[in-house]
Amino acid sequence: MDSELLVFGKYDPAEVRINDPSLARCVSLETKQIPHTFGKNTRKRFEKNKLSIVERLINKMMRSGQGKRKLSGKYIRGRKGCGQKIQAMHIVEDSFDIIEKQTNQNPIQVLVDAIQYAGPREDTTRIKKGGVTYSVSVDVAPLKKVDESLKNLALAAFSGSFKNKTSAAQALAKELIAASKEDNASFSVRRRDEVERIAKASR
């Protein structure tokens, strides 16, 4: 197959199957060798549905840390990843190479499977009624589920490589493999279970 139709010139997205029908419209498998659209699909509402799922993962990797909240009991700061698109691309490409060696699977398929398991199906929202504010459980929209999945996978890579010898690519590969199997060793799967547990208590 023409390398221009393969992601990173190696991986064929045409082989990927999305098992969750609700996510089919939100997970774009657009074929492009270099997953970089220079913000083309950020101008209109819901346009990110058309953005390659690999590029969306790369964009999530361009973060400086968790923000004001703690992640696994610690603040993650100073990764200097904001705007470093090429650096984030190399991290994702290296993690895909690791996944292929360890699983003998198409890494894009592993990514899609991980997304299906890493996002919560139910969440909570706050409602104010009669001067009283309380939490109620709500179903999570497919686009929101994909966004949360990618965020959790990226945060797992940050947590796994923060202040230790594990590289970001190794941490991301480990997380994607674990999440694709819905393994409890996966940070994102545990985070999903926690959100769903709280939502269930708010029914």
- In this predicted model, what pLDDT tens digit does every residue of 4-44 receive, in sequence order? 578 887 888 888 898 888 888 888 887 766 776 666 666 77
* Mean pLDDT in order along the chain per 10 residues (203 residues): 70 87 84 68 72 85 63 51 76 92 92 91 87 87 90 84 81 92 88 89 82
Collect all residues with Cβ–Cβ distance below 8 Å to 72 and sequence separation of at least 6: 159, 187
Structural domain that includes position 125: 3-201
Helix (H) or strand (E) holding 45: none
Q: Which alpha helices (DSSP H) does 13-63 contain, by range?
A: 53-61
- Number of compact structural domains in the chain: 1
- Specify the residue for token string 């590969």: 173
For position 93, which CATH number holds? 1.10.455.10
* pLDDT of res. 70: 54
* pLDDT of res. 75: 47
User: Three-state SS across 136-165?
Assistant: EEEECCHHHHHHHHHHHHHHHHHHHHCCCC
Are the C-beta atoms of 114 and 151 separated by less than 8 Å? no
